[in-house]
Amino acid sequence: MATGTGSLAVSEWLSSLHLEQYADTFQAQGRALLSQCRDLTAWDLEQLGVGPPGHQRRILASLQRAFSEGSGDDAPEVRPVPRPRSKQRRPAGHSEVGGASQDRPPPPIPPRVTLNRPPVRFPPMPMFALLHVYRLESFNQSVYLPVSSLPPNAPSVDPSLPPSPVIKMGWLDKNPPQGSMIYQRRWVKLDADYLRYFDNEKEVYSKRIISTSSIASVSNIGEQKFEVVTHSRTFVFRAESDLERNGWVSVLQDAVGDPRCRRESKGSLLSLSATNHEMQGYLELRGLRSKLYVVLCNDKVFLYKNQEDYKLGIGITFIDMNVGNVKDTDRRSFDLTTPYRIFSFMAETDQLKEQWVEAMRESIAEALSNYEVATKIWSEESNGFCADCGATKPEWAAINLCVVFCKRCAGQHRGLGPSISKVRSLKMDKKVWTEELIQLFMLLGNARANLFWAANVPPSEALLPSSCTEDRRRFITAKYREGKYRRYHQLFGNQQELDNALCINVQSNDVLETLSLVFCGADVNCYTGNPEYPTPIALAQSFNQKLQVEFLSQNRNTGECVRRFVVPYISSCKFLHYMAPPSITHNGFLFKTASVGRPITERKAKEEFSRRWCTLNDGHFNYYESDKNSTPNGVLKMKEIVCLAVNPPEKHGYNHTFEIYSDSERLYLFGADNLETVKEWVKSITKSFIPASAEDLLNRDFERIGKLRYKDGLNLQSPKLGWFALVGSTLHACFEDSEGEEAIHLRKLQELSIQQENEVLVLVERGRTLYIEGERKLDFLSWSAAIQQAAGSSGDTLSQQQLTEADIPVIVDRCIHYITQCGLTSEGIYRKSGVNSKIAALLEMFRRDARSVRLKEGEHQVDDVSNVLKRFFRDVEGGIFTSQASQQWLSTAAVTDESAKIAQYQFLLGSLPRVNKATLQALVNHLYCVQRFADHNQMNLHNLAIVFGPSLFQTDGKDYNAGRVVEELIEHYVAIFNVNEQQLQKQLDEITALGSGDFICTVYLEEKKQSAEQSVKIPATMTAAELTFEILDRRKISLREKDYWCCFEVNEKEETERPLHYQEKVLPVLQSLGTDSYLVVKKHFSMEAMLVYLASKVDVSKHGMMKFREERSLLGLGISGFHDRYFILTSTSLRLYKEVRVRFWELGPKTNRPEKEWPVKCLKVYQGVKKKLRPPTCWGLTVVYESERQEKPEKQQWYLCCDTQTEMREWFATFMSIQVRGHAWGGRARGRPCSICGYLFPHWTNMYVN
Ligand SMILES: [Zn+2]
């Protein structure tokens, strides 16, 4: 037939489509005959100037009909052919968007006005529609369609085509309209797009249609009732039972709900912004006194009471045009006939009627062609139901997986990505539906494809048309991405055999076997061993197996991906041995309190519990009034449980209790007198909600178990799901991506805090920071409290304290560190008593949360801290030597033979528990260092022993035996603890050199980013030059002449930076750094200019104008904004003058009082001024003044702006040179090569060395 029609002239053909206006363009492009148009695509048409999608569709559909293979019929099918459309039909300014024709525009969804939802663009109303503004008398009164009979000559269209898969339907009572008391019984249907209600279940046209996207919320309101709230109206429905009501609420909430899904689906299925209204306006419907607002959109006609309702998304009904027929009846009237009803419309004018008729005919033509593929594919019976959830008339398919599914499942298939599921529409993606592909789908069908894909679906995991989005996601991911339910091929796991089998099988017509082979790992692109037909596709072609070729081609690029998902599972054995969890059944009596929406902190007396018969079955936990009742008082689905916590005994009236947290933020408390009963229940319940991948957690004696979202080092973008169990002070975790479980020792955390307004729990371990997110409030609160408690000290023994990585109690570590820093030279350290109240307070702080205690010089006195340490050891349960062994330690002191004594001490040391041993070593090491400074602190071996003996042995001190042990431990420290003497010497050297300890600090190279981080130990003596040198040395950066590498102090908040002078000590700078500041080593680009300037200067001082601004004080005093001031900087002070005109420098400062004056040595000058202050130029300086007076420390900050960069550099250089002069200016760092080597401020050294 192709030859017959192919020779048709393009002008004739286009004219038959009523698109003759394009004939010239087609011919100009060399397409004079229909045969020359065969390969046209939508894109080509776009290029040819055929813009309107309706025109493109008409042309493409005609081409497809004309050239479709296998159609033995010569004559093209007779279809309603629309007449040319007139131009004014489209609203002005409404332009066609290229490519929009690829996707069917969604049904007309009005703009959303509800908060928290993305607004939808609302196209401007066409002019003609604006001319007809009608208002109905009563706004709240419903408009119903007039009663009508069946049309006399119903068109022969399959009437069984429903619009969209129904999620749920049933009888409900609808609240009466205003003024009436009687509920109206309505048949209610919910699909993905609409909630509709009807007079009865046979009715095709609804009384009311509410777009799900216009529903703001759905909620229970008691007495079996629920309300559906839209922006403008609230609909109340009543179900026959609470159970039925809950069912409606949950499916509605899901269909409406999940804003996340909305976002995901945007631009794919529910591309809301692409609305394409073909025609809209008021029409009169015969039998109804009022006019209706009619909207024609694609293959549907929607009826609204008025335009307002249209905007609100609340309509009366819609008419599917695939069953419609349009007939001209009168001057201004026309009939839209369907098998169920005749709609007789009347337009305002003749012309408008013409336009409506034409538009509707076009819509019918389109609707019919839309159903072409779907009708064929549905002719295989099982394709009439979604392969995943069973919804009717599914309109989507995965062309590589060979399954047909509904719109809601299609959303999840899309989520898998095209490498797993190639999703296409049966109605819109007409081009992909080749005859072979359609045949393939008819041959396999959902039933046969599911023999493979769904061979092992546990009933508890199966989907229903009403399943929620989350369940769909889980199921579809498991089914197609993980292949969890598939029927394993017997060759599974044996690649060679699978490939062989594939090559043999593609020669036959058994496509199902091919599908099974491919999705069990056979390689679609494997080598067949036959050079003539090297691939399975070529082989299938040579055997003329068209459907095999089709299937293989669709999976040419997906095969690899599917295998990628298969392989790791095989290797981990998780997959091979995976079995669906047996449906756990358990029942018995438990005592239950009413569920609550907040943590239970108070004790619940026995009277507050009620006895309930509880059953756990098939993923549902039901509780009943008694074991005689058949209707449960309540039900908890296992998949809704997010956490289970076992309370400590006797927390409540019943000795043993446990709590269950649901994802809807409810907390259920259950109890029993008998521990065994509770254990049994906990075991059964946890087994039913913990996934197989986290099953290991169940073997632990947990206090709390559940799921939480987390982020960690490699994954800070999107949170992942982890399963956690808390056991004592250890948090066991099964992370999403890693095999097996990991343990986090909470008492050893470096930091534990709650951030972002209590929504994130931050756990800092060495080498990892874990962020646990508060996805839900209730269980997160309880997890946070439990983790914080577990991370604190749990008792009075050493090992129950918060510990460092080295297993030393944090309190001991902090005190030792502090004394080493600040107290080694303090006279009588550890002998002097501190202030009792301060010691008690500090000890209490350490007991509460040692990790959070920061000891600071000036704030804490060394004698208080030293006494905290002593008191801690005196009080610690069992003592450091343990109560069992302390007598042996004491008796060792009496051993006379020295080597025997040391051996005995070593033996006892080896027998100590890990934490005690580590702590003892740290303490003795510390005391060893203390007595080495006896010259300063007067605490020699003996004095220390007298002090520490009774504390460590917890004795009264009358007997010196305890002291002797301590004395000997210190004296023989090296021998007993097997200490490396070289290291000990190094430690002593460091302490000696530092005088006050050291800091570890993060310094960046060139810029603040993780890859540029360096951790540097900062001894007290280290200068900026040494630090710079160290960083450059580590990074192997060679120094070049005129590279002025320098260490900067950067304050991010103030947007300022200050190059440290090369002789400046780093430690004090570090200690004063706020959290907004950091150190960075980088090149100082203006250094050379500054040096040149300084070299040219005769006088040390500088004066001139600058713009000045004060930091406004809390009282709001002081001047705001920048103002001109005159400044004089001398070797001692910086003065500010208000009067500029007086040439005061000639008169001398005495005659002219400055407005302000500051000593230079108290100033710190930073480059930059924060932008928030709107500096008038970008050459600003921020000056910080800190008074030296201890009793009344004072800090001020103000800002200076210069007119040019040069000026700013000069001021800065002058400040620096003056400040440097005031300090000891020796030029060389101790133990370092001469600093003239060029790595820092090379010339300065020369200039200022006196
Ligand atoms: Zn489905």
Ligand 1 centroid–CA 424 distance in Å is 14
Ligand 1 centroid–CA 264 distance in Å is 17
- Strand, coil or helix: 907: helix
Give yes or no for residue 177 having a pLDDT over 80.
Answer: no
Ligand 1 centroid–CA 375 distance in Å is 18
Dihedral sign computed on CA atoms, order 795, 797, 800, 804: positive
Q: If pLDDT is split at 50, 70 and 90, which confidence band does 922 have? A: very high
Closest CA to 195 of 216, 220, 179: 216
Around ion ligand 1, residues with a beta carbon closer than 5 Å are 386, 388-389, 391, 405-406, 409
Closest CA to 458 of 582, 334, 350, 556: 582
State how far the Cα of 1247 lies from the Cα of 1250, in Å rounded to an integer: 8
**Mean pLDDT, residues 519-540:** 86
pLDDT digits (tens, 9 = 90+) for 876-917: 998 999 989 989 999 998 898 999 999 999 999 999 999 999
- Choice between 1095 and 320, residue whose per-residue pLDDT is larger: 320
* Minimum mean pLDDT range among 771-775, 883-887, 1041-1045: 1041-1045
pLDDT digits (tens, 9 = 90+) for 1187-1197: 765 555 567 78
Secondary structure of 134-169 as H, E, C letters: CCCCCCCCCCCCCCCCCCCCCCCCCCCCCCCCEEEE
What confidence score (pLDDT) does residue 1226 get? Answer: 28
Instruction: Look over the chain and give the mean of its residue pLDDT values, rounded to a whole number.
Output: 77
Give yes or no for residue 157 having a pLDDT over 80.
Answer: no
Ligand 1 centroid–CA 391 distance in Å is 5
Ligand 1 centroid–CA 1103 distance in Å is 81
What confidence score (pLDDT) does residue 446 get? Answer: 92
CA distances from 248 to 176, 219, 411, 616, 663 (A): 19, 10, 22, 24, 19
What confidence score (pLDDT) does residue 998 get? Answer: 54
What confidence score (pLDDT) does residue 1120 get? Answer: 67
What confidence score (pLDDT) does residue 1091 get? Answer: 78
What confidence score (pLDDT) does residue 1186 get? Answer: 79
Ligand 1 centroid–CA 384 distance in Å is 11
What confidence score (pLDDT) does residue 868 get? Answer: 95
State how far the Cα of 389 lies from the Cα of 475, in Å rounded to an integer: 10
* Other CB atoms within 10 A of residue 519 CB: 23
What confidence score (pLDDT) does residue 110 get? Answer: 37
CB 320 within 8 A of CB 191: no
Ligand 1 centroid–CA 408 distance in Å is 6
- Choice between 70 and 860, residue whose per-residue pLDDT is larger: 860
pLDDT digits (tens, 9 = 90+) for 683-692: 889 988 888 7
Ligand 1 centroid–CA 269 distance in Å is 14
pLDDT digits (tens, 9 = 90+) for 836-866: 999 999 999 998 888 888 787 778 899 999 9
Ligand 1 centroid–CA 682 distance in Å is 35
Ligand 1 centroid–CA 455 distance in Å is 17
State how far the Cα of 666 lies from the Cα of 1059, in Å rounded to an integer: 57
Ligand 1 centroid–CA 405 distance in Å is 5
Q: What proportion of the chain, given as a percentage, has pLDDT over 70?
A: 80
Ligand 1 centroid–CA 474 distance in Å is 13
Q: If pLDDT is split at 50, 70 and 90, which confidence band does 86 have? A: very low
Half-sphere exposure of 392 (CA within 13 A, CB side): 11
* Distant-in-sequence, close-in-space partners of 1044: CB < 8 Å, separation ≥ 6: 1083, 1084, 1085, 1087, 1088, 1240, 1241, 1242
Pairing of strands 1077-1083, 998-1005: parallel
Top mean pLDDT of 116-125, 586-595, 1119-1128 is at 586-595
Q: If pLDDT is split at 50, 70 and 90, which confidence band does 1112 have? A: low
* Minimum mean pLDDT range among 130-139, 740-749, 841-850, 1041-1050: 130-139
Ligand 1 centroid–CA 99 distance in Å is 28
Q: Which residue's structure tokens are 């508060």?
A: 774
Ligand 1 centroid–CA 167 distance in Å is 9
Phi-psi category of residue 1140: left, alpha or beta, with phi > 0 → left and psi -120 to 50 → alpha: alpha
State how far the Cα of 503 lies from the Cα of 497, in Å rounded to an integer: 10
Ligand 1 centroid–CA 406 distance in Å is 4
* Distant-in-sequence, close-in-space partners of 296: CB < 8 Å, separation ≥ 6: 277, 278, 279, 280, 302, 356, 359, 360, 363
Give yes or no for residue 607 having a pLDDT over 50.
Answer: yes
State how far the Cα of 594 lies from the Cα of 610, in Å rounded to an integer: 9
Structure tokens at 916: 């005690």
pLDDT digits (tens, 9 = 90+) for 330-359: 788 898 888 788 888 888 888 888 888 888
- Choice between 906 and 804, residue whose per-residue pLDDT is larger: 906
What confidence score (pLDDT) does residue 1193 get? Answer: 58
What confidence score (pLDDT) does residue 92 get? Answer: 37
Ligand 1 centroid–CA 472 distance in Å is 8
What confidence score (pLDDT) does residue 837 get? Answer: 93
Give yes or no for residue 606 having a pLDDT over 60.
Answer: yes
Q: Which amino acid is at 1248?
A: Y
Give yes or no for residue 809 having a pLDDT over 90.
Answer: yes
Q: If pLDDT is split at 50, 70 and 90, which confidence band does 920 have? A: very high
Ligand 1 centroid–CA 255 distance in Å is 13
Give yes or no for residue 1029 having a pLDDT over 60.
Answer: yes
State how far the Cα of 706 lies from the Cα of 690, in Å rounded to an integer: 8
Ligand 1 centroid–CA 465 distance in Å is 6
* Other CB atoms within 10 A of residue 1043 CB: 18
- Choice between 563 and 389, residue whose per-residue pLDDT is larger: 389
DSSP state of 924: H
**Mean pLDDT, residues 1212-1223:** 72
Structure tokens at 528: 């067949």
Q: Which amino acid is at 978?
A: N
Ligand 1 centroid–CA 475 distance in Å is 11
**Mean pLDDT, residues 232-249:** 87
Q: If pLDDT is split at 50, 70 and 90, which confidence band does 1042 have? A: low
What confidence score (pLDDT) does residue 79 get? Answer: 39
Q: If pLDDT is split at 50, 70 and 90, which confidence band does 61 have? A: confident
Q: Has this prediction a pTM greater than 0.75?
A: no
Q: If pLDDT is split at 50, 70 and 90, which confidence band does 500 have? A: confident
